[in-house]
Structure 1
């Protein structure tokens, strides 16, 4: 059974959500990793959860990127270790240069906390290989700086390399203007790196794991991950 590590920064507030999702829903071994830790031995998969690391001072993820554990996260990822950054975790991965692009304030300059629909764009990743391409998932978001941006050459590279894993859509899977609530370029909700072992996504699949809480649509994403780890 794979062991998951959940990184905890001062200001993280979704660390226990990620722990609960993997430990109590998916039945995995899970360890909390403090931001000052430098030992990732025994960890098979890293989750960088959402929240407001270091109070989101300067800009989201900018300070967390320099914490001691992130040096080890970068080494882990560069060796092919799987990493998933959710919301603030996505922002931290961008700041660390593990995935391309940047985050801006939401288009309407308002914090958004609601359920949205995202569409699976590719099954060619360890995060999505058990999903159906074009499948639509009802997943919560909770962010003020989720407006993903990359220049046109970078966007073309993402598209050409099939690195866009999720896009914001409506309930029917259509990429409507209204569905792209934060203004992200090309409706992007989640991308991976060129090595396909690092995922950054703004929606919170760890908050959509139990019917009691309104949606189980996050489970297939983690089931895909577990399937990939069992095959590796």
Structure 2
């Protein structure tokens, strides 16, 4: 495939769609921002894309729960199309609000597809957390991650409901056993740490997980906000890298599509 095609899905309240589009296009893909109403009116257009991206924001004002309304729109209107999309070995990425959507739609951790088995609830601090955090790459079971990456990433978070909790111990044990924990919050030395290094109180410091296939990735930190080296808050003191830490997420996804399709 010469140019992978990415569908960046937006709804009322989405606010990171253009940044996500930019990140994928920087990685060599063609990305299009499409409103959920357009997709619902013509569900077959999903077949034209190899990756579905659910960006950050506050879809529908998070009025019911963060991402819940968009999750229900997907779950009850696009079930067959999403199943076909996954069965075709295509990728899905959910960032922040998009992660919340995937969890509440039952697409992560997805032991029983479209059945909710976890949640992302209010931060332990009871406030909106807007800060930069260190992430440890815990597994390369996701197609968005490759073995050669540096083990620690530096990315921003911006959320009020980012605390990951599994439905019960059995679900959490499966996530751990299957190596579905892709990212954990750590300190600058890569060690487990409490608040504010873990900004929300997530169980096991979970910052991002994938499904069992590795095709679906959800994460609370924002990789699209650190794709250019000048987006790092300390670039003037530490010097410029070739790219921001978050760029690898988009680069790997585009590379996978080029190799597979």
TM-score, scaled to structure 2: 0.83
**Counterpart position of 2:50:** 44
**Counterpart position of 1:26:** 27
SS at match of 2:33: strand
Contact preservation (8 Å) 1:120, 1:131: no
Which ranges of structure 2 fall in alignment gaps of 5 or more residues? 110-117, 234-243
**Is residue 94 of structure 1 aligned with residue 110 of structure 2?**
no
RMSD: 1.7
Q: Structure 1 residue 229: deviation in Å?
A: 1.8
**Counterpart position of 1:184:** 202
Distance across 2 between alignment mates of 1:106 and 1:78: 34
Distance across 1 between alignment mates of 2:11 and 2:83: 16
Matched residues, number = 230
1:74–1:109 CA distance, 2 compared to 1 (3 A) = farther
1:222–1:131 CA distance, 2 compared to 1 (3 A) = farther
**Is residue 214 of structure 1 aligned with residue 232 of structure 2?**
yes
Distance across 1 between alignment mates of 2:86 and 2:139: 21
Contact preservation (8 Å) 1:130, 1:220: no
1:9–1:184 CA distance, 2 compared to 1 (3 A) = same
**Counterpart position of 2:92:** 83
Larger of the two Rg values belongs to structure: 2
Which deviations, in whole Å up to 9, do the C-alpha atoms of 1:45-72 show, x marking residues without a partner? 1110010111111101111113267543
Q: Structure 1 residue 209: deviation in Å?
A: 0.6
Which deviations, in whole Å up to 9, do the C-alpha atoms of 1:127-149 show, x marking residues without a partner? 112543x7100001110000000
1:131–1:102 CA distance, 2 compared to 1 (3 A) = farther
Contact preservation (8 Å) 1:64, 1:70: no
Provide runs of 4+ in structure 1 moved above 3 Å.
68-75
1:79–1:200 CA distance, 2 compared to 1 (3 A) = same
- Mapping 1:1-232, distance limit 5 Å: 1-23=3-25, 25-36=26-37, 37=39, 38=43, 39-67=45-73, 70-71=78-79, 72-100=81-109, 101-132=118-149, 135-150=151-166, 151-178=168-195, 179-214=197-232, 216-232=244-260
SS at match of 1:33: strand
Contact preservation (8 Å) 1:205, 1:217: yes
